[in-house]
């Protein structure tokens, strides 16, 4: 039986850890959570005592950047850079990273990275497990068809930031900035969206957990928009975001 890849995430944004852990939880047997570090100095200490197979590394961090950390490691594990900026790509591959993920990271792109790591890559350390085939696609679909005034449109779950109740309709807010109005109820939308990825945060809002950037009080930052968290839903929101 293959051993799962031991993954360490180094990122100064707490919700980045929540998203990555949720992704790893959906790939049992292939990868496992080895730990969380919220800065490069903390990661240096962690790596002295704890072996890992894969380092998921943010670039823009205070005190010591991700690239500076990578240069400081004498024998780094396989490294995957996770950043919102494509400008670091050239430096990343000069340093021999296995992959380069642009935030917000889509789950299907994350699967490809895990598969590449499982197969082993000359650009980074060889994982402790043998190559495996591409994971079987989830049983749930990766998109939904929405009826709008312009017709019926496919919307991928990864592109759907959140759903907002709007009278007898709902507004679907997309990562592209578009807003689609459709004659669905919140209950109907909730039944059609994967529960592990979307959850109610308010009686009028359904949120894509992978798109959450920050929680401040009773307000979530989802992409560029703020979404309220109702008192009825707060404890479950905290649980789903691994904040309690």
In a domain, 131, yes or no: no
DSSP 15: H
**CATH code where residue 221 lies:** 2.40.50.1020
Contact 140, 194 (CB under 8 A): yes
Final residue belonging to a domain, choices 103, 119, 135: 119
In a domain, 114, yes or no: yes
Range of the domain at 98: 5-119
Hey, what's the torsion of the CAs at 230, 236, 237, 243, to 10 degrees?
130
Reported as a single tens digit per residue, the pLDDT across 89-109 is 666 667 888 888 887 788 888
Whole-structure pTM value: 0.53
In a domain, 59, yes or no: yes
- Please, what are the averages of pLDDT over each run of 10 residues along the chain (244 residues)? 85 88 88 93 93 93 90 91 73 78 86 87 37 39 82 89 93 93 90 86 93 91 92 89 76
d(CA 21, CA 40): 19
**CATH code where residue 63 lies:** 3.40.50.2300
- Is 103 found in the same domain as 26? yes
- Is 93 found in the same domain as 47? yes
Three-state secondary-structure class, residue 105: coil
Reported as a single tens digit per residue, the pLDDT across 194-237 is 877 899 999 999 999 888 989 999 999 998 899 999 999 999 88
- Is 158 found in the same domain as 107? no
- Is 190 found in the same domain as 222? yes
Q: What are phi and psi of 218, to 5 degrees?
A: -110, 35
């Amino acid at each position: 039986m293959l051993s799962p890849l031991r993954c360490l995430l180094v990122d100064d944004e707490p919700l980045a850890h929540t998203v990555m852990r949720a992704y790893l939880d959906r790939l049992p047997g292939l990868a496992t959570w080895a730990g969380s570090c919220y800065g490069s100095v903390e990661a240096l200490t962690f790596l002295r005592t704890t072996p890992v197979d894969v380092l998921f590394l943010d670039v823009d961090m205070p005190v010591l950047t991700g690239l500076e950390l990578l240069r400081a490691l004498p024998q780094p594990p396989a490294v995957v850079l996770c950043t919102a900026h494509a400008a670091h790509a050239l430096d990343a591959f000069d340093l021999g990273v296995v992959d380069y993920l642009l935030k917000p990271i889509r789950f299907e792109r994350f699967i490809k990275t895990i598969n590449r790591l499982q197969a082993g890559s000359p650009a980074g350390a060889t994982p402790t497990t043998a190559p495996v085939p591409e994971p079987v696609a989830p049983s749930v679909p990766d998109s939904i068809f929405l009826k709008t005034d312009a017709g019926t449109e496919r919307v991928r779950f990864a592109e759907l930031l959140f759903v907002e109740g709007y009278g007898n309709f709902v507004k679907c807010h997309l990562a592209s900035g578009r807003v689609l109005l459709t004659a669905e109820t919140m209950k109907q939308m909730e039944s059609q969206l994967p529960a592990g990825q979307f959850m109610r945060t308010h009686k009028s809002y359904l949120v894509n957990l992978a798109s959450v950037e920050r929680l401040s009080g009773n307000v979530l930052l989802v992409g560029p928009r703020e979404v309220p968290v109702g008192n009825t839903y707060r404890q479950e929101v905290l649980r789903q975001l691994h904040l309690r």
